[in-house]
Amino acid sequence: MEKATFAGGCFWCMVTPFEELEGIHGIVSGYMGGTVDNPTYEQVKSGTSGYYEVVQITFDPEVFPYKRLLDLYWPQIDPTDDGGQFQDRGSQYRTAIFYHNDSQKQAAEETKLAVAESGRFKKPIVTSILPASTFYEAEEYHQDFHKKNPKHYKEDRAKSGRDEFIQTNWK
């Protein structure tokens, strides 16, 4: 098993694209990239802790290769927005790929270059590619939020603008 860690704005919206796929054995919402030990949601949400909201995926690379995870990741985000994602603004909502080994780093860099060269976006691709650091699991109420609070999740996602962006830019 390997880990993959992606920041794509609100972690609630980053779970569903990866769940229930053969070879993916777990998706945990959490925090990575900051400076505070054991951060709380309130510390991360404040935008002053340096953390990103992330999802950490446990996967079997023999069944579901890392490159396929990247192919699912890119169309979930606006890779040109360094101020957050959609309605969620602030440094904690920026996009990033946190790599866990050299082959993940190389694959992330290759796919970022492919997105940049695709001509799909007029602005530069600003999604960071960073070494994975300590992962802190988010509070329990954030785990599988879309299942625990489906109405709230659907309303939040609908007003975020994420789905319209995906439809318009990633078709």
Residue 57 near residue 69 (C-beta atoms within 8 A): yes
Residue-wise pLDDT for 133-160, tens only, equals: 999 999 999 999 999 999 999 998 899 9
Residue 138's closest CA among 20, 3, 15, 16? 15
Task: Find the radius of gyration of the CA atoms of the chain.
Answer: 15
Residue 69 near residue 18 (C-beta atoms within 8 A): yes
Residue 72: per-residue pLDDT:
97
Residue-wise pLDDT for 64-103, tens only, equals: 999 999 999 999 999 999 999 999 999 999 999 999 999 9
Residue 13 falls in the annotated catalytic set = no
CATH architecture of the domain 2-170 equals: 2-Layer Sandwich (3.30)
Name the E strands within the chain: 2-8, 24-32, 52-59, 84-85, 88-89, 95-99, 128-131, 136-137
Residue 133: per-residue pLDDT:
98
Write down the pTM of the prediction: 0.95
Residue 171: per-residue pLDDT:
77
Calculate what percentage of the chain has a pLDDT beyond 90: 95
Options 4, 7, 10, 15, the catalytic residue: 10
Residue-range domain boundaries for the chain? 2-170
Mean pLDDT across the chain: 95
